[in-house]
Structure 1
């Protein structure tokens, strides 16, 4: 019963986000979307490293650092083994995703308290997971890239929804490539869901909820842009 309700809420997030958050305010248990996000991520990265042309991947990775000296390139090549990169990526995802959700949950709780709302941290942790559901849209697209890439798809090339893939098409050694690869359609979708959910849960004004939603993104990407512009 719980899983069927969770599946129903996942559907509503795409078509009726306000109704979805109204139901989540009473029961925000995030275990199904959390499992779907983590399992799909781990499975896709395992498949990626199991099938990628690793020599090509190393050459592509090092192409982003054309000024690297020959001895440094040799040392990095020896360090970056397929097994080591796979384990690092999988462990990073396994630990990193819950940590990110936990930090966002803490931020949402503190922001809501400032706005006079007394919703518990546990519910805000669930909220952080639920607003990330759009990332699941990228999973089948990543699978398509892996299946059709003949082993020569870069890690950044897996995300077909990134602004770099869709619009900018910057090479790996371009200073702005990392930012453009990080920003994707799901980033903006998550921001929209966060705004809708925050307003439903707190009942505060449009301006207050928009500010609370945008602040983490403004700080994170603002610092990134400032670094690119002034600290090259």
Structure 2
């Protein structure tokens, strides 16, 4: 197994040789601040750029029709007046930041509980919380592609799925008004990459087999996607 000596190297190697990275961060708990900053910034950047280049009037109508279609025309107009470019940018930045922290906190709690079956596992909740940011690093690839697409675009009326170009919603051209939009946005190539990294990390940090590690990594996604799809269908 190759030797990982610093967090910058770890952020690079997590994409190519994750076994060594998870072995190293199992001993270097303070390294997780770097992927935390990278993941948060890269998750926010495409959304920030999108709001900056989009035809704001068109986007206001799109969001209102998708989320507030049951309101009266007067109420919809009031909502539109509140949806300035500045307010939507602030909401996007704060929402993404807080959302990532909360979601990773929940995932860390799950991993902490799911790995208690290994009596030799000495990692606690904070260790697994740091772990989640390493497993989330594939979002960097998605974000970079999104930034390129947005920079090369003419702005205007762009499908919101462009901020997640590795999602089924983008590939299928799903409109925001579709009931399946958010669901298909969640099914992304980088999500599966994150599941793979989680599998690798669990197998490195515990005595669990690769198969058991994979089951632990896949289970929450499989459950969420299944329930979500059933709710939409019903």
**TM-score after normalising by structure 2:** 0.87
The equivalent position to 1:141 in structure 2, one of 122, 142, 145, is 145
Structure 1 residue 72: deviation in Å?
A: 4.0
Range with bigger deviation, 62-71 or 48-57: 62-71
Q: Which runs of 5+ in 1 are unaligned?
A: none
What secondary structure, in the 3-state scheme, does the structure 1 residue paired with 2:138 have? helix
Question: RMSD of the TM alignment (CA)?
Answer: 2.2
Q: By how many angstroms is 1:138 displaced?
A: 1.5
Are the equivalent residues in 1 in contact too, given 2:168–2:187 (CA < 8 A)? yes
Query: Which piece of structure 1 moves more, 107-116 or 55-64?
Result: 55-64
SS in 2 for 1:64: helix
Alignment correspondent of 1:22: 23
- Corresponding residue of 2:112: 109
8 Å contact from structure 1 (residues 101, 128) kept in 2: yes
Moved more, 131-140 or 200-209: 200-209
Tell me: CA distance 1:104–1:158, structure 2 relative to 1, closer, same or farther (3 Å). Answer: same
TM-score by length of 1: 0.87
Alignment correspondent of 2:7: 6
Query: 1:194 aligns to what?
Result: 198
Counterpart for residue 161 of structure 2:
156
Q: State how far apart, in whole Å, the 2-side matches of 1:67 and 1:32 are.
A: 42
Matched with 1:215 is 219
1:169 aligns with 2:170: no
Contact preservation (8 Å) 1:109, 1:120:
yes
| The 10-residue stretch of structure 1 (128-137 or 53-62) with the greater mean CA deviation from structure 2 | 53-62
Matched, 1:90 2:96: no
Which residue of structure 1 aligns with residue 228 of structure 2? 224
Residue 204 of structure 1 and its aligned partner are, at CA, apart by 0.7
Between the aligned partners of 2:96 and 2:177, the Cα distance in structure 1 is 25
Deviates more, 1:56-65 or 1:135-144: 56-65
Render the CA deviation track for 1:81-129: whole Å, top value 9, x for unaligned.
2222111111112222222222211211111113433312221111101
